Structure 1
Amino acid sequence: MFRKSAGLAAGLALATTVTGLVALTPPTVAHATATAAEAAAPHAGVASAAAVAAAAPILWRACAGEGVPAGMECGALDVPVDWSRPRGKQVRLELVRLPATEPARRIGSVLGVPGGPGGSGVEDLKRAAPDLTELRRRFDLVGYRPRTTVWGTTAAEPCWKPGVALRDPRDRRDFEAMAGAMAKAFEVCREADTTGLFSHLDSLSVARDMEAVRRALGEERLSFMANSYGGVAAAAYIRLFPQRIRAMYLDGVVDQTEGWSTVNLVARAGVEGALARFGRWCAATPACALHGEDAAEVWRELTRDADREPIRVTSQQYGEGELTGWRLRNFGFVPDPGPGHARWAALAEWVDKARNGDGSGFADFVLGNTRAWAMPALLAMTCGDERGYTGWAELRKFRRDIREAAPSFPGAAFDQVGCIGWPEPVANPARPLEVGGLPPMLGAGTLEGDFPWVERFIRKVPGSVTLGYDGPGHVLYLSGKRCPIAHATAYLTGLKLPAAGTVCPAE
């Protein structure tokens, strides 16, 4: 049983929002409970208000609780749930700040834009603080819990019930049946929602919240550090408030501006490359459970066989279910080898057992994701950004395109299937960016993972540069990678970009 928590979006998104390309680890899909400091905060959640406090200064106080960096301050900001009704119901956003350590040389504030969606910028800043001491000399570092994170802790119980058994639609009739079932589940969630957030979780609303934070901080222009799905909110902010951007560092970001089918095509092409690397590693590693075989081909055979005859599994947490080839392709492969290739070693063992009928290694993660990505609570955070297939024709075209881009990972993209019954108007459709007058930006991505996404985003902004990292991973500044952090600090502090083509060695 899933419980309401920001942990679902934060934990799942890291592994699956990007179709496996940037999975750091196969984490448990169970909700992690909110941190004690966040759960106990008296101002968490949604509240009614008679006036908008977007421009009011934030009242900062010393943060309390375990794991809080020295000097961190906490505050809150009320913003409209529906920005077209600024004096309507409000949602309270929690914020944290690490003030500049050299206030006489202070430049301004850097706002962190977390991924997920549903990730917490509060937790991001706590995690990254020890590695950002140089940046903090000249800047106040600010993190916040976006409205999606608030939703993850306040969504009504019916919103956590899967609308369908998530699958690759067989034909148009099956597609329409799934769309109808998801539409019904979305409606049930919307009717149960007392916060008003269900209809206002799109990234344009998030971008307007970011602007409210800027105003409350009293900054003429802000600098930004955005990661992963935070790139969608960053693009929305670029559209709405380009004149308010001093600098923008984009780490492992998704480029939604070309549409989600393109996002997923780029992602799966990266996963196809990771499968080839997995095969080469296994061939060169006697300890690999598939050593002496073509490990990549074993994987392909496993998924083809599972499409014909699904593997029955039992998960202690999610009960009985089936591992179809489509579910394995979407949720089973681990592109990141992990420290000492430990994740690939585990993957090889799971594959070896699964081809002999024991799919237990995949059970929790695959069954958990299959349920989660059919839950209105999770999908409501992304469907407003035009994440679903617009119709059967688009899905069929994606299938044709994916066979060429990533022949080992065919089939519909799980995240787009979940949104096909979205009942609301698409608030933030994919469309080109207007980039005139924007400052040059710095992107960063792993050459074995998310670099292609970041590069597609960054090259749209004249004068910008994408920094490569010669290794796997995702969101380098949250992983403590010294070289990317040094370049990000130089850029944000002095607006100095590295030379085009610069690559940081793996650490």
Structure 2
Amino acid sequence: MKKAFAILAATAAIAALPPAAPAGAGRLTWGECSGKELPAPTECASLDVPVNWAEPGGQKIRLDLARLPATEPARRIGSVLGVPGGPGNSGITDLEYAAKNLKELGRRFDLVFYRPRNNLWFTTMPAICKKPGITLEDPRSRKRFDAQAAAMTKAFRACQKADTTGLFAHLDSMSMARDMEAIRAELGEERLSFLAHSYGGVASIAYARLFPQRIRALYVDGVINQAAGFNDQTLRVSAVFEEKFEEFVTWCANTPACALHGEDAGAVWRALVRTADRKPIPAFSPEFGKGEMTGWMLRQLAFPALPGQNHAAWLAFAESVDKARRGDGSGFGAWVLSIQVWAWPGVLAMSCGDGRGFTDYDELRAYRRAAEKTMPNLGSVRFDGPGCTGWPLNVANPPRPLPPRDLPPLLGVGSTYGDVVTTRTFTQMIPGSVTVTYEGPGHVLWMMGKKCPIRHATAYLTDLKLPAPDTTCPAE
């Protein structure tokens, strides 16, 4: 009864809103999009916001925006703001890539995408911020943990000292949310609808925390629930990959083309991981050059990073395992060596302020025990955790429960690749919300052009109609 009342109350509140402002009623100056490969008739504008929202009169940064005006202006409802992921991606790039997938939604909405502050930072950060502060590892003692934290603190301080923008200290999602609110105000909209994906879910939670009354509708696609904490979310996703790995083992046993056919593929993998932890395997990546892979790195990325998680990918994975146990790690280099990005202080600065990392060695050890107990093949300390342990500033946006006050029911969608698990924990925070399961692999399904999820997103954002709670979309 309470749940039904919450849905009715939220619907009534939305229905009572005044009509949306007409296109162009805000204070932004829209013009030609020079130097950008955006579909016509996209318009561009810019907005200056404070680097530090606690000092509105201080140093400013400029956010670039792009808008595809509603193609049926007489029936225009308002604006949809795209919230990009990453962290560090540009929404304008998202629009360039996938505007064609939003044609139906764009009939009655202005589609507004922007370049967030963390993308501005990522594309302009000083060179020293791209220098790894440590060689990432799973520290097996308090002494090793403390040494890693000290090394990262030193790297963070050097990065911050080289930063002339002031952004280093203000890349948290609470600052992102205030930027989003500034965009809403300049658009002249009483309430906004949002299209958030991946790490954009963290900024969406922050916005919902600060400005719940400004949300008309919120669609989330493949997001994580930062309110529950990164440890919780990573364990959930890792459990899905553990199940997929067991499927791979069974498939390999029944598939003569599998390079590990005739052996216990799971046992071969576990032996490889143990060997690599004792003696790292040489590998090469075109982007990161030569390196070495430990068993910890392999557990983190070798299988979970498989594109598509289909049988073709499993064939390649088995061949790479077979080569790696003979000392040739080339099959995994492109995926596994990318882990060093998570030791760049400039990259970590985009999420340490949101509570990524481990507060102390006891928390890390407890996480490791939980992961290894439930995931014997892939469980370990998560790869994005050790770096933030040396974060020298206050955590501006720590994980904590999100009060559902004043929030309308949300719509989420996620693939069985793992996204649906974390997306559902996000939507379950808000009474009456629904998560649609896409029965296949994929991340950020609207950008992939998946028709069923896009159809549900369009119906929800346009008419505020939610599908049934158990709705699924077949793989396309």
Aligned to 2:56: 86
Q: What residue number does 2:189 align with?
A: 219
What do residues 56-89 of structure 1 show as CA deviations (whole Å, max 9, x unaligned)?
7211113244642121111111110000000111
Q: Which residue of structure 2 aligns with residue 182 of structure 1?
A: 152
How far apart, CA to CA, are the structure 1 residues paired with 2:217 and 2:388? 33
How many correspondences in the alignment? 452
The residue number in structure 1 matching 2:277 is 307
Match of 1:118 among 83, 88, 111: 88
Check whether the contact 2:272–2:325 (CA below 8 A) recurs between aligned residues.
yes
Cα deviation for residue 181 of structure 1 reads 0.2
Distance 1:415 1:426 in 2: 16
Which residue in 2 is equivalent to 1:281? 251
- Higher alpha-carbon deviation: 115-124 or 262-271: 262-271
1:375 aligns with 2:347: no
Identity of aligned residues (%): 59
Q: State the match for 2:451 in structure 1.
A: 482
Please list the CA deviations of residues 397-420 of structure 1 after superposition, one character each: whole Å capped at 9, or x if unmatched.
101111233221232112111100
The CA deviation at 1:292 is 3.2
Offset at residue 313 of structure 1 (A) = 3.1
Rounded Cα–Cα distance in structure 2 between residues aligned with 1:486 and 1:144: 23
Q: Which runs of 5+ in 1 are unaligned?
A: 1-54
Q: CA deviation at 1:459?
A: 0.8
CA positional deviation for 1:264: 1.4
Aligned residue identity for 1:342: A
Do the aligned residues in 2 keep the contact of 1:108 with 1:140 (CA within 8 Å)?
yes
Alpha-carbon separation, structure 1, partners of 2:306 and 2:443: 9
Aligned to 1:57: 27
Where in structure 2 are the equivalents of 1:96-495 lying within 5 Å?
96-315=66-285, 317-334=287-304, 336=306, 338=308, 341-369=311-339, 371-495=340-464
Give the partner amino acid of 1:290.
L
- Structure 2: where are the runs of 5+ without partners? 1-24
Query: When the two structures are superposed, what TM-score results if normalisation uses the length of structure 2?
Result: 0.92
Greater shift in the superposed pair: 120-129 or 287-296 = 287-296
Instruction: Return the alpha-carbon distance in structure 2 between the equivalents of residues 142 and 242 of structure 1.
Output: 20
Question: Quick check: 1:289–1:348 contact (8 Å CA) kept in 2?
Answer: yes
Q: How far is the alpha carbon of 1:153 from its aligned partner?
A: 1.3
Once the two structures are superposed, residues 282-308 of structure 1 have per-residue CA deviations (whole angstroms, 9 ceiling, x without a partner) of 334433322333333322221122112
User: How far, CA to CA, are the matches of 1:451 and 1:107 in structure 2?
Assistant: 29
- 2:10 matched residue in structure 1: none
| Structure 2 CA distance for aligned equivalents of residues 166 and 502 of structure 1 | 41
Indicate conservation of the 8 Å contact 1:268/1:405, yes or no.
Answer: no
**Matched-pair contact (CA < 8 Å) for 2:305–2:335:** no
TM-score (norm 1): 0.86
Contact 2:117–2:176, Cα closer than 8 Å, also in 1: yes
Q: Distance in 2 between matches of 1:154 and 1:375?
A: 14
The CA distance in 1 between the partners of 2:96 and 2:247, in whole Å, is 34
Offset of 1:131 from its aligned partner? 1.3
Quick one: structure 1 residues 298 and 84, their matched pair in 2 at CA, closer, same or farther if it must change by over 3 Å? same
Q: Which residue of 1 aligns with 2:8?
A: none
Report the more deviating stretch, 491-500 or 348-357: 348-357
- The CA deviation string for residues 13-57 of structure 1, in whole angstroms up to 9 with x for no partner, is xxxxxxxxxxxxxxxxxxxxxxxxxxxxxxxxxxxxxxxxxx972
Task: Give me the whole-angstrom Cα distance separating, in 2, the residues matched to 1:478 and 1:375.
Answer: 28
Instruction: Give the partner amino acid of 1:452.
Output: V
CA distance in 2, matches of 1:467, 1:262: 21
Structure 2: which amino acid aligns with 1:467? Answer: V
